[in-house]
Amino acid sequence: MHVLGIDIGGSGIKGTIVDTETGEFIDERYRIPTPQPSVPEAVAVTLSEIVRHFNWNGPVGVTFPAIIKKGVAYSAANVDPAWIGTDAAMLFQRHTGCPGCPMLIINDADAAGIAEMTFGAGKGHSGVVIILTLGTGIGSAIFVNGQLLPNAELGHLEIRGKDAEHRASDKIRQDKELSWKKWATRLDEVLQKIEFLFSPDLFIIGGGVSKKHERFLPLLNTQAPVIPAELLNDAGIVGAALAASWTVNTHES
C-alpha cells in the first residue's frame, strides 16, 4: 500500500509517499518550514500544501508532537498552546479538501517507534523496548513484545526539579554548548531513571543526534543495551504512513 506520510516538527513539516510494505520512499521528500507561531490554522494550511504538492488523494498519516487521542491533541509542550483540545484530524481534513481521505494523526515519537520496530533497529526485538527521540525535546515510545503503549511522555519525567527534556534534549546540549561528556552524563541520568521505572530490555536512541551516536553512546552506563536508531529523520514519515495503513486495513476487513 502507498500512503502519504507527513511529519510535523518544530522547524519543518515534511512528507512523501511511502510504500508501507518496505518502508521505502516512492518520491522525493518535500519540506516546508513550520509557520511561526505554529497555531493550528497556519499549520493546517502548510500541511495542505504538502498534500497538493503530491496531488494526493488517498490515506494520509500525520505525526504531531503532542498527546494524541482519537485525532485530538491533549498537550502542547513544544508547540503553540492553542493546539490543546484541537481536533487535528478534522482540521487537517477540512484544509486538505479531501474529506474522504482516511487520515490518522499520531504522536511523533510513537510514529518513529513504529518505524524503528518494523523496519529499523528494533526489528525482531521482543520484551520491553524504549525508543527515545532526542531533538527539541525528548520524545518516547514504549513497546512490549512489539505492541505500542501510546502517548508515553517520558521526556516530562522530573529530573533535579526539571522536565527531563529541559536537561538532556539535543536542543539543551546545543543551547548550553555542553561537551559530549557533560551531555552524556545528563542523558545517562535520564536513562537510569527510566530504567528503574520500566526495566527495559533495550533502549533505542533516535533523532538527528543519533547520527553522532559514537560520540555519546559509549559514555552511557545502563544495564540495558543502548543502540542508535536506523531510520533517523525519516522515521516519523515512515511510521505515520505505516500506522495509517493499519487503520485503513482494519476498517476494510
C-alpha cell at 106: 499520531
Q: How confident is the prediction along the chain (253 residues), in pLDDT tens digits per residue?
A: 999 999 998 889 999 999 999 999 999 999 999 999 999 999 999 999 999 999 999 999 999 999 999 999 999 877 899 999 999 999 999 999 877 788 999 999 999 999 999 999 999 999 999 999 999 899 999 999 999 999 999 999 999 999 999 999 999 999 999 999 999 999 999 999 999 999 999 999 999 899 999 999 999 999 999 999 999 889 999 999 999 999 877 655 4
Cross-strand bridge partners of residue 5: 16, 61
Query: What CATH fold (topology level) applies to the domain 124-230?
Result: Nucleotidyltransferase; domain 5 (3.30.420)
Q: What's the pLDDT at 247? A: 86
CATH class in words for 2-110+234-252: alpha beta
Predicted pLDDT at 252: 59
Q: For the chain, which residues make up each domain, given as ranges?
A: 2-110+234-252, 124-230
Q: Cα(103)–Cα(107) distance, rounded to whole angstroms?
A: 14
Q: C-alpha cell of 57?
A: 488523494
